[in-house]
A and B are shown apart, each in its own frame.
Chain A
Amino acid sequence: MSGRPPEDRVTSLHGAGGELMGQFLAERVLPKFRLRAAGPIGLDQLDDGAVVDLPPGRLVVTTDNHAVKPFRFPGGDIGKLAVCGTVNDLAVMGAQPVAITMALLLEEGFPLADLETILTSAARELADLGLPLVAGDTKVMGRGELDGIMINTTGIGVAERAISDAGLAVGDAILVTGTVGDHGMALLAAREGFHLQTELTSDVAPLWPLLAPVLAAGGITAMKDPTRGGLAAALNEMARKAKVGIEVREDVIPVRTEAKALSDLLGISPLDVACEGRAVIAVAADRAEMVLSLLRAHPLGQEARIIGTAIAEYPGRVVLATGIGGRRFLEMPLGDPVPRIC
């Protein structure tokens, strides 16, 4: 820490609105982002706000704070996660992402090289999605006032037909777009103190490219991304809001063997921990196979499965048919067993 020249680290001058900040933004932040406007006024104008041209449809807005420990993890980092988290919230609302803003909270002393890595990774995701970063902000907090870095992102999108997480109806099929629990388990394994070696990587990925064709095909009644609290929380929320029951089969819920083994070791269910690149989709029964084949046609959806059905019994609750052949309620997890992961 002490041996390094201060220019390698974030100092309070970076966030003070002075010359150093302008220089820092111009040299190290802005060039990372290929698309910097979604209308006449964007990032380059350094104005007080962005002006965005919207395609037709209803406006959908979402905002998230991201605090991840460690900020770089197997399969991604907080930069990629911030972009994906926001894009995914829009996508499961049925909205095409139009623009994103990003506000950085940095602890004094945070290595600039790490910041550059994080922003490069966020910029790469945005470039792949063709999504412009239209506004941003940077604040520097004193040492000890923050643990490294936090990122806030706000996304705006446009939906032809917005999808809520409450539209589930009895008889609907419940699908998941891929293996569950990878993100939470990978982060847990990567945490200091556990010394676990695993091949498991986070599933963090933007869902819009996967979901766009499915949304266009129609038939989706409810959708949710199972982040905090994982699949168990997502299903419970969907069941409660729609006042229907859900029955899912443990033996068809896709879970990687590594995640299963880690889960046994740590006593944490893979169904209770966050995914960052998966969606839970409810779809009218007669469209389920069609939706499944559309999902599987995309690289992100190859392990998509129909995992259960909405039922009239047990309104507001989720029943798990266990792999061994038993039945129990799948409860809403008590907070996330793994804090600070998204």
Chain B
Amino acid sequence: MDDLFRLRDPARARALVGLLRRYAPPDPVRIVHVCGTHEIAIAQHGLRSLLPEGVEVLEGPGCPVCVTPTVDLDRAVKLAERGAIVCTFGDMTRVPGARVTLAEARADGADVRVVLSPADAVEVARANPQRDVVFFAVGFETTAPGTAAVLLDSPPPNFYVLSCHRLIPPALVALLAGPPVPIAGFLAPGHVSTIIGARAYRVIAERYHVPVVVAGFEPLDILYAIALVLRQVREGRAEVENAYPRAVSEAGNLRAQGLLATAFAPCDAVWRGIGRIPGSGLSIRDELARHDARHAFSVQAEEGEEKPPGCLCSEVLLARAVPADCPLFRDPCTPLSPVGPCMVGTEGACNVWYRYGRRPNP
């Protein structure tokens, strides 16, 4: 069992910290990752305290719950209020929409259920054939194949999906293509990359000349991946490197990619705090339209973002700020009474910083 923890070996970590120092360029560099699990590992193991002066690692739009736009939340709330059973993942029920959260709607009598997988939502539909059951589907390429699988597996006629799935590579492009943000390199999310493969990031390296390193989730994985980014920066290279080859291949999981392509078509999509990103969403294909909640129910929801005054979630999601920069962080915004979405999702940067604590000496 100790094998499990060999990627937490402090002696190897010290060696990697030496490498980081060697590769760190003289000017400050900002490295962005887009994965809640990375943020948790970085915070939990105190990795930021090991980075050389001037090297910053920030979480961008890596929390699917955080980036789901209010318009879709309100859509889900309205469907629940109209009598549908709305199934979704736990964090999603607590995200503030324009009016209420799904949890508040449930307190007022709506039928909102927390499920652990899309298959659980199908079970709910089979158990309640007289009711409409809507699976409010969020998540990146890691969770979307699960939704695709149930859509393609002849679900009951009363089962619908409200797809808010999002794709990672277009988001990385958007972070670079928007107003100039000095991003020196990306750590690509290990889980997402098992599905889409390392090659999915080539566009970032080739067209935008920004290094991408696919990273695993153990502390040594992350330190190593940061070292590889710094080495590319120092050597003036911009390539996709795979620092997580034990899980991620060049081509990815072709079967899962096939499921995604059969059930979904890429579409433009709004990311909370960021705005519309071309080709970053997944809409359900016409052949499956009878299970598409957007198609089956006409629900009007207000476009446009409710942004609480002072809340820096947008900046955090764009990797332009860290949670501690926000005037609301810790007071009054806490996981128990979140103001913005990054404090709600357990993968949101603010939530992670709150729970795991900052490095003691900033």
Contact = CB atoms under 8 A, between A and B. Distances in A.
Interface of A: 251, 257-258, 260-261, 264, 267, 269, 314, 317, 319-331, 333-335
B48 A326 contact: yes
A258 B4 CA distance: 11
B356 A331 contact: yes
Contact of A331 (B2, B14, B357): B357
Interface in B339-362: 346, 354-361
A149 B46 CA distance: 42
Contact of B5 (A258, A260, A317, A325): A260
Contact of B354 (A257, A319, A321, A331): A331
B40 A267 contact: yes
Given A323-B8, A323-B45, A257 B1 contact: yes
Contact of A319 (B2, B4, B360): B360
A269 B9 CA distance: 19
Contacts of B219: 324, 326
B19 to A, nearest CB: 14
Interface centre among A267, A314, A323, A330 (most CB of B within 10 A): A323
**Nearest 9 CB-CB pairings of A with B:** A326-B46, A329-B357, A328-B46, A322-B46, A324-B219, A327-B49, A326-B49, A331-B357, A324-B13
Interface string B188-221: 0000000000000000000000000000000110
B47 interface: yes
B20 interface: no
A267 B43 CA distance: 13
A321 B10 CA distance: 11
B357 A324 contact: no
Nearest to A318: B357
B17 interface: yes
Interface of B: 1-2, 4-5, 8-10, 13-14, 17, 40, 43-50, 219-220, 334-336, 346, 354-361
A333 B357 CA distance: 11
Given A331-B356, A334-B355, A326 B5 contact: no
A320 B46 contact: yes
A334 B46 contact: no
B114 to A, nearest CB: 12
A317 B360 CA distance: 10
B124 to A, nearest CB: 15
A334 B336 CA distance: 8
A328 B10 contact: no
B13 A328 contact: no
Contacts of B1: 257-258, 261
Contacts of B354: 331, 334
B236 to A, nearest CB: 30
A327 to B, nearest CB: 5
13 contacts: A264-B4, A267-B346, A320-B357, A322-B44, A323-B10, A326-B45, A326-B359, A327-B49, A327-B359, A328-B46, A329-B358, A329-B360, A335-B336
B356 A328 contact: yes
A260 B5 CA distance: 9
Given A322-B46, A327-B359, A329-B358, 16 more contacts: A314-B360, A319-B360, A322-B45, A323-B10, A324-B10, A324-B45, A324-B220, A325-B10, A325-B14, A325-B17, A325-B50, A326-B47, A326-B48, A327-B49, A329-B357, A331-B357
B4 A328 contact: no
A324 B360 CA distance: 16
Contact of B357 (A251, A321, A330, A335): A330
Nearest to B7: A324
Contacts of A321: 46
Contacts of B10: 251, 323-325
A161 to B, nearest CB: 34
Contacts of B357: 320, 328-331
Interface centre among A257, A319, A328 (most CB of B within 10 A): A328
B49 A328 contact: yes
Nearest to A330: B357
Contact of A334 (B40, B45, B48, B335): B335
